[in-house]
Amino acid sequence: MNIRPIKLIALSVFTISLLVACGTTATILLTPIENIDNTPTKFNELTEVEEHTWSHLDLVKDTIPGMSVNKAYEEIIKNKKGETVIVAVIDSGIDIDHEDLDDVIWTNKDEVPNNNKDDDGNGYVDDVHGWNFLGDAYDEQLEYVRLLASGDTNNPRYNEAKAEYEKAYQKAVTNKTRYEQILQQVNNTDEVITKHFNKKDYTKDEVNAINTSDQELLRAIQIAKYMYSNGINYMAEAKKELKDGVEHFTESLNYNLNKSFTGRTTGDDPDDFSQKFYGNNNVKPVKKSESHGTHVAGIIAAERNNNIGINGVANNVKIMPIRAVPNGDEYDKDVALAIRYAVDNGAQIINTSFGKYYSPHSDWVRDAIVYAGKKDVLIVNATGNEGTDIDTKNVYPNDAINNSKEVSSTFLSVGATEPKYSSSLVASYSNYGKINVDVFAPGSKIYSTIPENEYKSISGTSMASPGVAGVAALIRSYYPKLKAAQVKQIIMDSGLPIKVKVIVDGDSNNVKPFSELSKSGKLVNAYNALILAKQISNN
C-alpha cells in the first residue's frame, strides 16, 4: 500500500496513532566533515517558506538538514543543459493535468492517442501516458487479509496473519471510535471559541491571549492548546485531520480488513503471471483523496521556476505514471508487471513508494528488479513507516530475503528524516537497518502537489524516496554516461556522514549512532553527489 506515516494527535487522555498512511569513494568538495557536527541546530520554528522548501536547503548554510538542492542549482548546474530523464512513478493515480505537472508528463510517441489500437505493439492499447494496472478499482484488502480469506490454513504464515488481523481489527475499531469522540470535542471547542470571538477565523495567538474565568471557555482553550501543541495552527485544520482519521479507519474496516471484500475488477487472476494485459490507459486518480502518486510525482519533478506551486528536485524529467498501488496492499503481479512496463518503455529511474510485509509472489517482483538492473534502470524504494529494523523483518519489495545477497546493484532503499539537525533527526516512523536501508533523506512535512491544482505537506518514507529519485535524475541528466549502479553508489558515497546519535522509533530510550541505521550511514546530498558524479564521469 502507499507507505503513509504515523501522525500523532494527543488530546486529554487520548494518544492516537493515525496511519495516514555499495563501492568506490572520492574526495568531495564540501564544508569539512569535522565542522558538520558543530553546526548549530535551528531551534526557531521554520518559516512558511522554509517549511515548504526545507528538503532543498543546506545544513551548513541554512542550519536545516536538507539535500542541498538549491545549492546544487546555484553553484553546479547553473545554466547547464542536461539530457531528459524518464522517471517512472509506480503508485496510485497521478493528476497529469495538474498545473505543476502537466508539462513534465511522459508521452509515448509510438502510440496514436484514442484510436483503440496497440500502435507500438507492447500489448497495452492507447498507453499514451503510461498504464493503469488497477482498472477502475482503488480500495483493496491487505495482503494478510487475502491470506485469511483464502482459507489456506496450510500456509506457514496463516496463524501469524490471523493474530495480526485480530490485533489490527480491534485497533481500527478503537481508533475509529476515539477519533469520532475527539472530533466531537473539537467541534464543540470550535463552536465555543467562535462564539467568544464572534468569528470563525481566529488565530492561535488570539486563543492564547484569552483571559477568562468561564469554565466552558477555559475547557475549550485547553483543548485548542492541545491541538496547537501537535503542530495544528487552526481549528479548521484540526477538524480536517480528525475527519481524515475517521475516514481512514472506516475505510480500513470496510475494505482493508474486510475478509469478504473483493476489490479487483480487472478480470485477471492475480496468481497467474501469464495473464499480463489487463487494466486500462487511465492513469489519473479515481477520486481526489487518491493523492499519493500526485504528491510523489511533484517531489521529483514539479515544474521548476514557473512562479506557481513548488519546484521539484529535478529538471529535465518526464514522469511516466503507472497506476498499480491501491488503497490497500498492492498485488505482486501488478508490481512486477509495472516494473517491466517501465523498463521496456524507456524509464531510467523507477520510484516505488509502497510496501508490505506479506508477499506471496515476491519472487516475481525480485525477478523484475533483476530485469531492471540488467537494463541499467535504477529503482529507488521507500523502506516503510513502522519504525522497524528491517534487518530483522522482511519488507517487500526488496532485492534480498533474510539478509541474503542482493539480487541487483541498482535497488536503492531510503529512510526518512526530520527538518531538525538534532537527536530527533531520524523520523520516528522511519524503518531502518544497517543491511537493508541504503541512505536517509528528508521525508517529513514535505510540501508537494495533490490533485486538482492543490498542494499539501505529507510525511513518510514515501516522500523521502522520490526526493532521492530526483537527485538520481539530476545525475543521469548531467552525467548520462554513468550507469545505474554507479548512480546508486554515488548517492551513497557522497552523502553527509552524520555522526550524531539519534532517537530511533520515537523511543527516547532507544538511541543509536546515525551511522548504524543504514548501509552508508549518510544523509543524501545533491550538491556532493553532482561533484562526485563529475569526478567519476571524467575518469
Prior bond to 397 cis, omega within 30? Answer: yes
24: burial class by Cβ within 10 Å (0-12, 13-18, 19+)? exposed
Average pLDDT for 192-198 = 95
Residue 31 clears pLDDT 90, i.e. is over it: no
Residue 35 clears pLDDT 60, i.e. is over it: no
Beta carbons of 436 and 446 less than 8 angstroms apart: no
> Which pLDDT value is given to residue 229?
87
> Residue written as cell 471559541?
193
> Residue written as cell 482553550?
221
**Mean of the per-residue pLDDT values for the chain?**
92
pLDDT tens digits along 150-166: 999 999 999 999 999 99
Report the C-alpha gap between 380 and 521 in whole angstroms. Answer: 17
CB neighbour list of residue 272: distance below 8 Å, 6 or more residues apart: 333
Q: How confident is the model at residue 39 (pLDDT cuts 50, 70, 90)?
A: low
Beta carbons of 3 and 356 less than 8 angstroms apart: no
Give start-end residues of each CATH 3.40.50.200 domain in the chain: 27-140+268-538
pLDDT tens digits along 445-480: 999 999 999 999 999 999 999 999 999 999 999 999
pLDDT tens digits along 46-93: 899 999 999 999 998 998 999 999 999 999 999 899 999 999 999 999
Share of the chain above pLDDT 70, in %: 92
Average pLDDT for 488-493 = 98
pLDDT tens digits along 107-147: 999 999 999 999 999 999 999 999 999 999 999 999 999 99
> Which pLDDT value is given to residue 218?
95
User: Which of the pair, 499 or 273, is modelled with greater confidence?
Assistant: 273
Query: Which three cell numbers, joined as nine digits, stand for 325?
Result: 498501488
> pTM for the whole thing?
0.91
Average pLDDT for 384-413 = 97
pLDDT tens digits along 224-251: 998 888 878 888 889 988 999 999 999 9
Residue 25 clears pLDDT 70, i.e. is over it: no
Report the C-alpha gap between 504 and 24 in whole angstroms. Answer: 29
Return the number of other C-beta atoms located less than 10 Å from residue 224's C-beta.
Answer: 24
Q: Residues for the chain: how many in total?
A: 539
Report the C-alpha gap between 125 and 387 in whole angstroms. Answer: 41
Among candidate residues 46, 78, 22, 34, the one with its CA nearest the CA of residue 400: 22
> Which pLDDT value is given to residue 190?
95
Query: Which three cell numbers, joined as nine digits, stand for 507?
Result: 523511543
Residue 3 clears pLDDT 80, i.e. is over it: no
Residue 357 clears pLDDT 90, i.e. is over it: yes
Beta carbons of 94 and 494 less than 8 angstroms apart: no
Residue type, 188: N
- The helix (H) or strand (E) run that includes residue 131 is strand 131-132
Q: What is the CATH code for 27-140+268-538?
A: 3.40.50.200
Q: Pairing state of beta strands 6-11 and 14-19?
A: antiparallel
- DSSP states along 143-163: HHHHHHHHT-TTSTTHHHHHH
DSSP 435: T
pLDDT tens digits along 218-230: 999 999 998 888 8
Residue 15 clears pLDDT 50, i.e. is over it: no
Report the C-alpha gap between 4 and 458 in whole angstroms. Answer: 9
Beta carbons of 501 and 478 less than 8 angstroms apart: no
> Which pLDDT value is given to residue 293?
98
* Cα–Cα distances in angstroms (integers) from residue 239 to residues 285, 305, 459, in the given order: 24, 34, 19
* Cα–Cα distances in angstroms (integers) from residue 454 to residues 2, 100, 309, 457, 520, in the given order: 19, 9, 8, 11, 36
